[in-house]
Amino acid sequence: MPTTLVTLLIGALTAQPSVQQPPAGSIRGTVVDAVAGTSLPGVVIALQGSRREVVSDREGAFVFEAVPPGRHTLYVSLVGYALARPGVDVHAGLVSHVTVPLAPGTGAYTETVTVVSDAVRGSAPSVPAAQVLTSGELLELRGVLTDDPLRAVQALPSVATGDDFRSEFSVRGSDFSHLGLSIDGIPVPWPVHTVADREAEGSISMVNGTVLDSVSLLAGTYPQDRPGRTGAWVDLTIREGSRATTGFHGSLSASAASFLVEGPLGPRGSWLISTRQSYLQWLLDRFEHEGQTAFGFTDLQAKFVVDATPRNQLQLTLVGGHARLSHEQGSVYENSINGARARTGLAALAWRSAFAPTVVVTQRIAAGVNDFRTDGIIGFPLADGYASRLAYRAVADWTAGSALALQFGAYAQRHRADEAYVRFQQVRRSPLLPWTDRVPSLERVVGDGWLATGHARVNWDTARWSIDAGLMAEPSSLAHEVPWSPWMLARVPLRAGWSLRGGFNRTAQTPTLEQVVGTFKGDDVGPERARQLDLALEQRLGSSTRWQVTAYHRREADMLRLEESETYLLNGEIERPSLTPYWANALVGTSRGIELLLQRRSPAGLSGWVGYAYGRTEYTDRLRGEHFPGDYDQRHTLNVFALQRLSPRTSVSAKLRVASSFPIPGYYERRDGGIWVAAERNLERLPVYARLDVRANHAFHFDQRRLTLFVEIVNLLDRENFAVDRPYVNDDGRVVKVMHSLFPFLPSAGFMVDF
């Protein structure tokens, strides 16, 4: 007994006190769309470092119970949205609440929600025909094969295109030279990789779609607050990098590879750098696509943002690219290309200052340069030169009252060029040239010029109506007169969900250096002009669906045409182009039509649009006394896009385009089983264009990263479509090399890694 007591006493003295674990906590949260602010159901949320995973409910809510106290990281993923990894502090016995905004597409992760007032129209609520592509839609539409955000724009209603190999497009009958484009508020030439003076060889956007926050298209009447264009305007906005965490996105497909790195820049800024390399031709060769052209490019985009003070922000945007082309042809002739290269760079610095709660001034300065050379097969360059521009833009916005906003702006640009082009033209054989029907035509563009704009704008927005009106002047050293461009836009809500929008503007487009100082310059060349009217009726069906019908009319005058540059039939004889054609304000034109749109945006269900457009574009040449359809006169256009999310990990999408197609530009007609030179212009058209593309995405989740697999089939129905080639008129009048085939049935696959 004493022994037992001693044993118990010793055990009691040597026993370790029991450790009491602190009570666990819990995490309750909601996942929302970072742009729309709406809840996101079906999102995968994982607790990193554990095997626990939940899915958000119909209200976007989720919960983790029995979570140990401390700092935890959530892994939040939904296919079609950027990956988010927010940190949450869990306290013993308490509930930690968190809201997780998910950015569509590849947008940067942020801990705040910035709700756009009208995600469909962006910053242009009064513009009758405005479309906005979000980052998520760009991700679906740009294509695994081409990875081109400008090709995503081609899927929008009112946009027409007929060449799979080109990024450029037409809107309401206007060609891309009459469309405006800006990057982060700075007007720029079209940022595409292409071969100088050989645009038919193809082109692709110089901007990687993963860096874009949105793309806006203003199709008809819109404010004239930038250098004038007679056609539509496209705005590209490069997003900021993440201010919350450093992230990496890598994408690899059979045609391109791209990499993007982003992160915070100190406590008050962010940075983003992206680079891309393509090898599309390798894929085309695998499917025995005709031609032996090898086209490759490399490009880079970067953006740095710093909040210098609470009222001052600095932004630096950089875009650059280098394109290369080698060309081998079975039949060699004087205009054959042996190789080409082009280098383009753009740098823009922006300074945004809030001088008061109601006054904001944004200043931008930008410099751009383009250097190119295209070598001919016979040993000398067919195109060689450079162009540069320096621009400054300042805009002051003043909120004068609860319903009244005023804007004043100015823009100045200096540009110069030194370019040379050699083209071998067909001429009639003669005793002096019995051995050839091709002689060289030399075009030289050497000079500089400037243009400036100044505008004033008033926006009066009430619950009953809104008006956006203003006036812009555009003096230039390349025009002898100063064009004035007024505009008036109005929006009237009719009843719940209904609204009526109308607009009028008068636009002017300054001639280019080649049209004023080049070898083919015209006498007393002046600005091109256009007057436009739009009327749109819209109904919103809830928060996610709308339909709209828009009627438009555009009257153009003094449009420039390169006279005596085409082969045609005159009194039964073939007239060849002149070796010295000239520019003239010879054309007057009319474009009119109607556009129908049904659009739905839903984070959980079916999203997309159906757009149909009917339009007619016709021109009259006052010098030649002839009337003909416009080169981009496409009577019927159907654009359909549909996106369905099947699960948090899987989505499918489809894009359909059917169009009655464009005329074959030139004096051609079909007879006797072939195409022959004609006396009238644009008589013959390309065959009907129809193409269906489908795409599927599936995400694989890991503890530290996400892998998304893309599978895409271009031209699923394997329809043979055609684009205009480089027509050649034989001595007997027969036309050869009129058309070439476009993309065949092309499957492609790739993947993107986020961590």
Could you report the per-residue pLDDT of 568-614, keeping only the tens digit for each?
999 988 998 888 899 999 999 999 999 999 999 887 778 999 999 99
pLDDT at 139: 84
pLDDT at 379: 74
Does residue 288 have a pLDDT over 50?
Answer: no
Percent of the chain at pLDDT > 90 equals 50
User: Over the stretch 202-238, which tens digit does the pLDDT of each residue have?
Assistant: 788 898 888 998 899 999 899 998 888 999 999 999 9
Q: How far apart are CA 126 and CA 460, in angstroms?
A: 11
Does residue 344 have a pLDDT over 90?
Answer: yes
Does residue 338 have a pLDDT over 60?
Answer: yes
Start-to-end C-alpha separation, the chain? 68
User: Over the stretch 232-263, which tens digit does the pLDDT of each residue have?
Assistant: 999 999 999 988 888 888 888 766 788 999 99
377-401 in b/e form (b: 16+ CB < 10 A) is beeebbbbbebbbebebebbbbeee
Q: Taking a C-beta distance cutoff of 8 angstroms, is the pair 337, 372 a contact?
A: no
The 3-state DSSP composition of the chain as helix, strand, coil percent (nearest 5) reads 5, 55, 35
- Say whether 552 sits in a helix, a strand or coil: strand
Q: Taking a C-beta distance cutoff of 8 angstroms, is the pair 60, 53 a contact?
A: no
Q: What average pLDDT does range 385-398 have in this prediction? A: 95
**Residue entry with tokens 């487009």:** 509
Q: How far apart are CA 162 and CA 170, in angstroms?
A: 9
Q: How far apart are CA 589 and CA 337, in angstroms?
A: 35
Give the other-Cβ count within 10 Å of 570's Cβ.
Answer: 9
- Say whether 139 sits in a helix, a strand or coil: helix
- Taking CA atoms, 648 is separated from 36, 326, 601, 691, in Å, by 19, 44, 17, 29
pLDDT at 423: 84
Q: Taking a C-beta distance cutoff of 8 angstroms, is the pair 395, 362 a contact?
A: yes
Max avg pLDDT among 9-18, 251-260, 493-502: 493-502
User: Over the stretch 697-753, which tens digit does the pLDDT of each residue have?
Assistant: 998 887 778 888 889 999 999 999 999 988 888 888 899 989 989 989 988 888 888
In degrees rounded to 5, what are phi and psi of residue 726? -120, 85
Q: How far apart are CA 447 and CA 387, in angstroms?
A: 10
Percent of the chain at pLDDT > 70 equals 89
pLDDT at 435: 46
What are the structure tokens assigned to 89, written together? Answer: 């502090």
**Residue entry with tokens 């919103």:** 540
pLDDT at 119: 57
- Computed over every residue of the chain, the mean pLDDT equals 86
Q: What average pLDDT does range 303-327 have in this prediction? A: 91
Give me the count of residues in the chain. 755
Better pLDDT: 57 or 37: 57
* Lowest-confidence segment of 73-77, 113-117, 670-674, 730-734 by average pLDDT: 113-117
What are the structure tokens assigned to 577, written together? Answer: 């182009």
What are the structure tokens assigned to 3, written together? Answer: 């022994």
Q: Taking a C-beta distance cutoff of 8 angstroms, is the pair 646, 630 a contact?
A: no
pLDDT at 109: 64
Q: What average pLDDT does range 344-357 have in this prediction? A: 93
Q: Specify the pairing of strand 233-238 against strand 180-183.
A: parallel
Q: What average pLDDT does range 85-92 have in this prediction? A: 88
Does residue 18 have a pLDDT over 70?
Answer: no
Does residue 307 have a pLDDT over 90?
Answer: yes
Q: How far apart are CA 457 and CA 53, in angstroms?
A: 53
HSE-CB for 633 with a 13 A CA cutoff: 20
Residue type, 219: A
Q: How far apart are CA 109 and CA 87, in angstroms?
A: 12
Better pLDDT: 200 or 501: 501
User: Over the stretch 612-658, which tens digit does the pLDDT of each residue have?
Assistant: 999 999 999 999 999 999 999 999 999 999 999 898 889 999 999 99
Q: How far apart are CA 319 and CA 324, in angstroms?
A: 17
pLDDT band at 5 (very low <50, low <70, confident <90, very high): very low
Does residue 398 have a pLDDT over 70?
Answer: yes
Q: How far apart are CA 456 and CA 751, in angstroms?
A: 48
Q: How far apart are CA 176 and CA 670, in angstroms?
A: 28
Q: How far apart are CA 433 and CA 95, in angstroms?
A: 91
Q: Taking a C-beta distance cutoff of 8 angstroms, is the pair 219, 385 a contact?
A: no
User: Over the stretch 409-438, which tens digit does the pLDDT of each residue have?
Assistant: 999 999 999 999 988 877 665 555 544 567
Better pLDDT: 56 or 339: 56
pLDDT band at 13 (very low <50, low <70, confident <90, very high): very low
Does residue 12 have a pLDDT over 80?
Answer: no
Q: What average pLDDT does range 99-110 have in this prediction? A: 78
Q: What average pLDDT does range 48-74 have in this prediction? A: 88
Q: Which of 674, 566, 553 is nearest to 626 (CA)?
A: 566
